[in-house]
Each structure stands twice: as structure tokens, then as C-alpha cells.
Amino acid sequence: MTAAHYALRPDITHLDITAAAGDPFDLIVPVVDRHNQALALSSSAAASWEARATVRRNVHAADALHTWTTTGPTPNARINPGPAVTVQLLADPATTAGWTGWPGWVCGWDLDLLEPPTDGGPAVPHRIATGRFRLLPEYTR
């Protein structure tokens, strides 16, 4: 398949998130094509894609406060294949409780979907979502 088969929408979806520290986190982001239609991928095709998302204090921060990825020894994200592909970002309560150490309660986040290499070239990243990430602290736990 060529890049034309997977041309994602050039506009980035703006999605502000509010998460509660100490609660489970489960966010599902739809993947759409350049015509704002759901992207369909088979299980075998989706297996060659990669998703990664980060939360940072701000756009200039070098260090990520939290990272999700579909690869590595402990993936905490997944690409859900089918007629309407989604990317799912997950964190358990112990993980989100640790977020209270972040240097601010409102940060920024983004999500990239990496298209598999075509014609021997490198993987093609597509930023599909970005926005503010607001963290609500734990008070009674």
C-alpha cells in the first residue's frame, strides 16, 4: 500500500482532556481520513502501525510527563482495527495517582499515529490529536 491509501486528515483534532488522579484512564480517539471519514484497517494492517502520545508541561518542555505507546515491553495504548479505527490510551489507578507529582495541573498533550514505511522509506508520523490535559488531584484517598 502507498501513502495515498492512508492519507490522514491534515487538520489536527483538538481534544481537551480532564483526568482524575487515582482513577483509571481510558481515552478512545477516532482515526479519520482527509475527508473526515472513519479510517478502516484490518487487524493485519493495523499491526504494522504505531501510536504514541505524550503529556508535557508545555510545548517547549523536553521531558514527557507521561507517554503512551503501542510498542515496547509494556504497551499502554492500542490501535483498535475495524471499519472505524480508534486509538485507545490506558492508565491504571496506580499510574494516574503518580501524576500528582507533575509540576502543574494543566499541561499539553498530543497523539501521533505512525504509518508503516512505504517504498523503503521511513515511517510517516501523523499528528491526529492535541490539546490541554487537565489533571484533577486526589483529595480523599
Least Cα distance to 88 among 46, 131, 135 occurs for: 46
Interval 42-92: pLDDT, tens = 999 888 899 999 999 988 888 999 999 999 999 999 999 999 999 999 999
Class of domain 3-136: mainly beta
Interval 92-111: pLDDT, tens = 999 999 998 888 888 999 99
> Using CA atoms, how far apart are residues 26 and 140, in angstroms rounded to an integer?
22
pLDDT at 110: 95
pLDDT at 2: 42
Confidence of residue 3 (pLDDT cuts 50, 70, 90): very low
What percent of the chain is modeled with pLDDT above 70? 91
Q: Where are the domains of the chain?
A: 3-136
